[in-house]
Structure 1
């Protein structure tokens, strides 16, 4: 490797020595790393505002958190509320449907009971008619038809 020399002021040479001691690099290695750092980061050393990269990260972090909070406020919370409202509406609709279903089943049950009672009343009438016919046919119950019919109905 060919070595090159650079001219720097005494003040900057002392600062280079301090940095070299602090980081544990030789002068040439420290200068090489500085060049690589400026090249990778794209930072212009002449345009130094004495910004610390960690401060830039904190600022970016604050902006990101602010962005997330705004998204939460403007999108997520309203969306959550809409979902909650929709679920409440669905719950009310289900309750209404359930109430209507219970009323309808109750009405059907009432009609079925009326139909069953009407059918039973008709069967009782028919039973009385059959017994009356049997009594007319066999007035003295000689053939035993009346007792046979009564046994069938019991």
Structure 2
């Protein structure tokens, strides 16, 4: 068990008022605030007379210099090469776009024109094929009609052959001619 020895310190009433205000502000009693002040100066090694806190200022300057040198190293090792790489990528993309504009776009437009021409020719070919089918169909119908006329003629001629009537033969020939003309 540790034995506490109480010591007393004498100070002026002005100093007592300042200590009272400080302890009230911090929410602690005067003895605790005094003990913490002594512990603070003991641990930090700061001189209470040094109001500007030269050690703190030196530490801040030292840390600032470390941060600046770290930033410069990062800039030199990472940021500048990264920027150069990005510039070269950007330049490469510009070259690609330029190439596409100069070479590929005209070729694509030419291909579009060729496809349009080919589509027009296909359309014309479709019309021509349709016309050919129509003509073939008409030819087929014409053959059928002509075949009917011929069959009619042959049948009529055989009927007339037995009777040898020249007038009937002429009527038959005339009728067949008329039918052929109507085709």
TM-score by length of 2: 0.43
Which protein, 1 or 2, shows the higher relative CO under an 8 Å CA cutoff with sep ≥ 6?
A: 2
TM-score after normalising by structure 1: 0.50
- Structure number with greater Rg is 2
